[in-house]
Chain A
């Protein structure tokens, strides 16, 4: 089974702190994604990556950056956390060229910024 592991299930940070969210997948997937999930809204894409050292902005990249130094690892960075970044963050991965686009998700990281 594909496993996507996110480093922290729950985090509490203060405004202005730097936050790292890490995601590791064990199925050699080329594609990796970071979403945030908020009540009443669909999943919103923050950043995605189709290959090592490659990144593309999603729909809401402002206030976030990412890093993909190894194929299996995709990190989301909040340089200076703000209260409006309180959310559930979901990492996902998929095969390149997979026509079904099936995503495999991690359990999520619930971030609270005070």
Chain B
């Protein structure tokens, strides 16, 4: 079966750095996405990785290792507004998105 694993919840301190991991087992791979979802709001697109390596976008970076079936989202200089759920999703061989359950990130002052 297809599976995406990510931690259920993480806590970090304002101003610090946090890494949210995502491991996947899917039938084929056509890219990996990270979305941010604030409580009660719509998910919004953060990043897309299809090749191995690190993609940096401001305070957020996303890393992919296809051979290991692994990705992480790195958030730097954490702000209170970064408190949200972070969803990992993989585009499989049929170009269907397989979603993880999401990681709830709690930022403490």
Contact = CB atoms under 8 A, between A and B. Distances in A.
A44 B42 CA distance: 15
B43 A105 contact: yes
Contacts, number: 50
A101 B101 contact: no
Interface string B63-103: 00000000000000000000000010101000111111110
Contacts of B91: 101
- Residue from B4, B41, B89, B101 with most neighbouring chain A CB atoms (10 Å): B101
B4 A101 contact: no
B87 A103 contact: no
A43 interface: yes
B42 A101 contact: no
> At the interface, is chain A mostly helix, strand, loop or mixed?
loop
A104 B41 CA distance: 12
A4 B41 CA distance: 12
Interface residues of B, number: 24
Interface string A85-114: 000001000000001111111111000000
A77 interface: no
A103 B31 CA distance: 13
> Interface size class for chain A?
10 to 19
Contacts of A44: 99
Contacts of A45: 96-97
A101 B98 contact: no
A69 B65 CA distance: 42
A101 B95 contact: yes
B29 interface: no
A101 B92 CA distance: 11
Given A42-B98, A42-B101, A90-B43, A101 B31 contact: yes
Interface of A: 4, 40-45, 90, 99-108
Given A40-B101, A42-B100, A108-B41, 17 more contacts: A4-B42, A42-B99, A43-B43, A43-B99, A44-B99, A45-B96, A90-B43, A100-B31, A100-B33, A100-B48, A101-B91, A102-B45, A103-B35, A103-B97, A107-B41, A107-B42, A108-B40
